[in-house]
Every structure is written in structure tokens, then in C-alpha cells.
Amino acid sequence: MQELTEEEIQSLYAWIDEIPLSRPKRNITRDFSDGVATAEIIRHFIPKLVDLHNYPPANAVAQKLYNWNTLSQKAFRKLSYLVSEDVINGIVQNKPGYIEYLLFQLRQKIEAYLSKRAKDPTKTSQTNLTSPYDQTNPPPLPHPNQQVSGQGSGGVDAFGGYGELGSHPGMASPPTHQSSTQELSPYEKDQMILELQDTIQILQLKVDKLEELLVLKDRRIDDL
């Protein structure tokens, strides 16, 4: 997982600021910790994937984890997005940098989903049915009635919108991949496969667009 650049962070904040959310935008680390705002973002672009009644606002870590587990099972899997437990735990404990990383990846997943659906709606539904993610259930997160460790603190304050802050001194690096000397679990292997498949998908979309431009260019040359 790569650490986001300043340009990527500012672009992400600008993207979020364009989306209407039910809460005032003050501190992205705290605002998104219970999964509700993330559910609202997905619903904004793909309404059928999210029922907001499934995501009650929460302060307790256990309920936050339950919300994120619901989001993973009901929405992320439809986007072929597999989020590690480390990232989820970092978000619910208000660790700086984790929610930015997740939203950056989620934005790419949403754009890829919408692009594929616009290009071939029938292909999108078929792909969802045969996605490797649908065949791999991530470890379930605890139900709210289970005991979970307490919250942390920190984050980036940005009143009225996340894009108004110019620097991020408290930004922490997102979690990195395990050392190559450590054996990866099946869950982590599935995540790596999905990330590679997503990269291939994005590159293929770019190739398709370039091919379309070449065809148009050839037609214009023929018309001359």
C-alpha cells in the first residue's frame, strides 16, 4: 500500500467536498470512523448498493466495527473491494491517514464500476456474480456486543470542507505490506490479487480509450 502524496490527498478532499453528507465536515478522521459517511458516499454514486438504515451513527468501537463489516459484506464486495482488518481497525480507532487511504482506493473502485456499467451494463452484473471477492468471505468483524479495544485520537481538522487545509503535519503513513520473509495469509493473498486485477482493469480502460482516439484520428485523416 502506498502512502498518498499531498496532491492525491488534496484531490481526495476536493472530491469528498462535492458530495453532500449528513454531517458537518470538520475532522475527516472522526467524521468517517463509524462508516456512515462512507456508506453515504457509495449511495451518492451507486444508490442500489447501500441502505442507510443499516448504518446507524456510532461512538462505541464495537458498533463502528459492526457498521464497517456490514459495509464490506453489502457494498464493498459488489465493487470487488477487499479491505484489510488493519485498515478497518485503524479507522475506527481514529488513526490518522487510514481513512484517506481507504477513500482513495474506494474512489477508484467506484469510478471503475461506473465506467464498466456505462460501457456494458450487462457485463457489469455478470462480473459481480463471478468476482473472486464473492467467493472469498473476509473474517467477520465483532458484533457490537463483543468487547473491543478503545479509540485513539488524531486526525486533520478542516472546517466547512476537508480541502481547505493546506498541510497535514499529523498525517500518518498507511499500513504497509508485510515483509517478503513473512508468509501471507489467504485473506492477504486475495487482497493482493484484487488490487492487481483492479490495476489491470484500469489500464485496460485506458487502452480502450486510446484505441478509440486512434480510430477517430484515422477517420479524420481519411476525410482530409
Q: pLDDT under 50 in the chain at which residues? A: 124-159, 165-170, 177-182
Alpha-carbon gap, residue 98 to 184, rounded angstroms: 21
Domain presence at residue 77: yes
How many alpha carbons fall within 13 Å on the CB side of residue 200? 6
Domain presence at residue 79: yes
Q: How many structural domains are present in the chain?
A: 1
Pick the closest to residue 93 from 189, 200, 172, 25 (CA basis).
Answer: 172
- Please, which residues bridge with residue 27 across strands? 157
Domain presence at residue 147: yes
Whole-prediction pTM value? 0.59
Domain presence at residue 151: yes
Phi, psi of 157 (to 5 degrees): -85, 130
Q: Identify the pLDDT of residue 171.
A: 52
Domain presence at residue 1: no
What does the buried/exposed string (b/e) look like for 27-40 if buried means 16 or more CB atoms within 10 Å of the residue's CB? Answer: bbbbbbbbbbbbbb
Sign of the torsion angle spanned by Cα atoms 82, 84, 88, 91: negative
Q: Identify the pLDDT of residue 205.
A: 78
Alpha-carbon gap, residue 91 to 96, rounded angstroms: 8
Domain presence at residue 102: yes
Domain presence at residue 119: yes
Q: Identify the pLDDT of residue 200.
A: 83
Q: Identify the pLDDT of residue 175.
A: 54
6-17 vs 98-119: helix axis angle to the nearest 10?
A: 70
Q: What amino acid occupies position 142?
A: P
Residue 148 · residue 33 · CB < 8 Å: no
Q: Identify the pLDDT of residue 7.
A: 93
Domain ranges, residue 213: 6-223
Domain presence at residue 47: yes
Report the CATH number that the domain containing residue 10 is assigned in CATH: 1.10.418.10
Q: Identify the pLDDT of residue 221.
A: 86
